[in-house]
Chain A
Amino acid sequence: MRAFDYTRPGAVDAAIATHARANSAYLAGGTTLLDLAKINIMQPDQVVDINGLGLDRIERLKDGRVQVGALVTNTALARHELIETHYPVLSQALLSGASTQLRNKATTAGNVMQRVRCPYFRDGTSPCNKRDPGSGCAAIGGVNRETFAVLGTSDQCIAAHPSDMCVAMAAIGATVSVMGPNGPRDIPFDAFHLLPGTSPAREHALEPDELITHVTLDAPPGGARSGYLKLRDRASYQFALASCAAQLSVEGGVIRAPRIALGGVATKPWRATDAERMLDGKVPSRALFEQAASAAFNGATAYEHNAFKIPLGRHAIIAELGALTGLETMQEVS
């Protein structure tokens, strides 16, 4: 690994000021940063360790929302009573991601900031507009199966966002609180991750030197139930081919406040708002779920090796909606 300087500030302001003095990276759990620093994809001259900032608490706010500190580990978040009770989708998504060792180290903010798993991004030599803007995209026309998207792609980049946690947060609804040289601000979760468009190198809404301090989860509506279904090449320790996070309630026999987000199939944690609108106020049925699932993939673009993700993703939605509403949907689906 290339040499870098290391500092461990004791306050957020100091961390931001230190970060601004050099080509820097914030160090939370380090499972992405050190991985990519070892292969020169990330090359900070200075690492600012933010583990001394006290951002490792989970609190329920008076308005019912739950505020999660940036440094809460994936393990701690998944196991927290508030999360297990009110946001099972988040707990399930976290526990479906990575390995025990990585979850013990990886943090909430670090997970939000994790980089794509595109092998052409990681190899350091192939054309990649994310790593080397303007160089092209080796994945388009290359091998583009497991870690590639069918939604939100552009002719510049088709890498799927790799997070499970973020898919759950997109379904729940959340706010990313950041602190920067110009003070604090809040970013809606849906607006945090950016589509690749014509500038795949810009992945998120953070301004230079800004630091995520918290992610605050929306309060779930009364009676809400939620869950996460992840489909992958092996049963554990594998990125999603397609996943579905869903939260809804059923009142008087009809679906209320449905929230659906998809993982593994899109370039950012993907809200399926068209599907949500179709479900709202309707009586649960398999036919309804199939319609909603189809709507979720309207406009999808299949590439050479990942066309299977479109039906797979639809099935993930149908199965998860079935699980949440008590309908049997796991039989053959069209």
Chain B
Amino acid sequence: MTEHFDPGTQQDETASTSRRHFLKTVGASGVAAASVPLWGPAAQARAADDPPPRSDAPRQGLSRIRLNINGHLHTVDIAPQMVLLDVLRNESGLTGTKKGCDHGQCGACTVLVNGQAINSCLSLAISHQTDEITTIEGLEHNGELHPVQAAFWEHDAFQCGYCTSGQIMSAVALLNDKQMGESDAAVREAMSGNICRCGAYRNILAAVQDARQVMKGGA
């Protein structure tokens, strides 16, 4: 699995992402340690399930594809029915994109494909081999938050945070779209596909409109 990581996409220098990386690492090994001894038969079976080295052919039933995610090429071995959301999270290690309803109703899985917001839960990964995919991990630039990320932080535009990456991706798409209206009503309409169970909509709207001003200012 780790060979599929593109080191260029890993930005673990900030405190928050270090914590996330720590939790992911400990969480994974913790599960393994709790369930089976590392030297047991199950561990061997698990190792055998891992994708073979890239010099080998993909396992039977899998296709080896390359996806351009956040400007980096990721090589992944996937089954045809795997949706982009699951490949991002499970194969490319990009867990910022969230699985909510898994049916295109909540927007937690929103990513940009060629600049347009889509539900990554309703799109086959194999169909995106020529596309530019942007996830929440791809928004920062040289350690600086994207204006929308900064505005969400500033306006406390979340409570539990589960919908936040999807909200931010939709906001980025609409702010980059010159045909979208700029009124509060237009923003609410454009972002109606992102559900926030905590009800942070007022602050989300304020963050989006604030980010609009920052982005107009040439930030």
Contacts and interface: CB of A to CB of B under 8 A. Distances in A.
A and B together in one complex: yes
Interface of A: 1-6, 8, 27, 30-31, 34-35, 37-38, 47, 49, 51, 75, 79, 98-102, 104-105, 235-237
Contact of A34 (B83, B189, B193): B83
Which of B119, B122, B188: most chain A Cβ within 10 A?
B122
19 contacts: A4-B80, A4-B81, A6-B80, A30-B127, A31-B122, A49-B124, A98-B193, A100-B117, A100-B170, A100-B192, A100-B193, A101-B104, A101-B193, A102-B193, A105-B122, A105-B123, A236-B189, A237-B192, A237-B193
Contacts of A1: 81, 83
Interface of chain A, main secondary structure: mixed
Contact of A99 (B83, B107, B126, B179): B107
A123 B116 CA distance: 31
Contacts of A27: 124, 127
Given A27-B127, A38-B102, A102 B119 contact: yes
B191 A100 contact: yes
A34 B124 contact: yes
Nearest to A234: B192
Contacts of B83: 1, 34
B79 A3 contact: yes
Interface of B: 61, 63, 79-81, 83, 102-104, 107, 110, 116-119, 121-124, 126-127, 170, 173-174, 179, 188-194
A75 B102 contact: no
The 4 A-B residue pairs whose C-beta atoms are closest, nearest first, are A99-B193, A6-B80, A236-B192, A237-B192
B117 A31 contact: no
A8 B80 CA distance: 11
B117 A101 contact: yes
Contacts of B190: 100
B179 A79 contact: yes
B103 A35 contact: yes
A27 B190 CA distance: 26
B127 A101 contact: no
A235 B190 CA distance: 12
B81 A30 contact: no
B199 to A, nearest CB: 14
Contacts of B174: 100
